[in-house]
Amino acid sequence: MFESISELPISIQKLINKAHEARKNAYAPYSFFNVGAALQLETGEIITGNNQENAAYPSGLCAERVAIFHAGSQFPNMVVTAMALTAGSIKKPNETPIPPCGACRQVLAEYEVKQEQDIEIYFMGENGKVVKSNSVKDLLPLIFDSSYL
Ligand code: THU
């Protein structure tokens, strides 16, 4: 756990700032809970996403999946080295680090297995403390993947 982003390398601070920027464009008129995600690709590219809700609630998608599916569609041979996440409700301030949901962990795990390289995950509230996980598999042990199919 890091007390503030200033303790992190500049490249990760930049990634977190991209996630904050992306969060501003979240479309969350139902939950009022805005999430921003930024992915660092090995090539230097940064891909962002935010949650996109829908009146038919389950049709919406989390920020993490918007970002990683976008990255996968644009850069099919991509290697993702890190992901930064920032989240918070417009109804109440939240500086507690907010971790990715289970469905997003499952989707991120697929790409981590595929690329045979760990993805660092940094997650936080709107500001304040940051939690780092060294990989998706640390957030989702005993993952279900294509080796079982
Ligand atoms: N949400 C995300 O974008 N990522 C997560 O990991 C958890 C939840 C979104 C989905 C929904 O738009 C809102 O936050 C409330 O659940």
Q: Does pTM surpass 0.85?
A: yes
Residue 129, CA distances (Å) to 6, 28, 36, 77, 95 in order = 10, 24, 16, 33, 7
Regarding the beta carbon of 103 and ligand 1, being less than 6 Å apart is answered no
CB atoms within 10 A of CB 46: 19
The number of helices, as runs of H, and strands, as runs of E, in the chain is: 4, 5
* Domain boundaries defined on the chain: 5-138
Ligand 1 atom 2: residue of nearest CA = 62
Instruction: Report the pLDDT value the prediction gives residue 118, as an integer from 0 to 100.
Output: 98
State which ligand 1 atom lies nearest to the alpha carbon of 103: 6
Q: Is 33 touching ligand 1 by the criterion CB < 6 Å?
A: yes
What pLDDT does residue 101 have? Answer: 98
State in Å, rounded, how far the first CA of the chain is from the last one.
36
Q: In the CATH scheme, what is the homologous superfamily, with its name and number, of domain 5-138?
A: Cytidine Deaminase, domain 2 (3.40.140.10)
Question: Helix, strand, or coil here: 120?
Answer: strand
pLDDT in single tens digits along all 149 residues of the chain:
999 999 999 999 999 999 999 999 999 999 999 999 999 999 999 999 999 999 999 999 999 999 999 999 999 999 999 999 999 999 988 889 999 999 999 999 999 999 999 999 999 999 899 999 999 999 999 999 999 99
CA dihedral 5, 105, 112, 51 (to 10 degrees): -70
pLDDT of residue 95: 80
Predicted local distance difference test score (pLDDT) of residue 21: 98
Q: Give pLDDT, residue 93.
A: 85
Cα–ligand 1 centroid distance for 32 (angstroms): 10
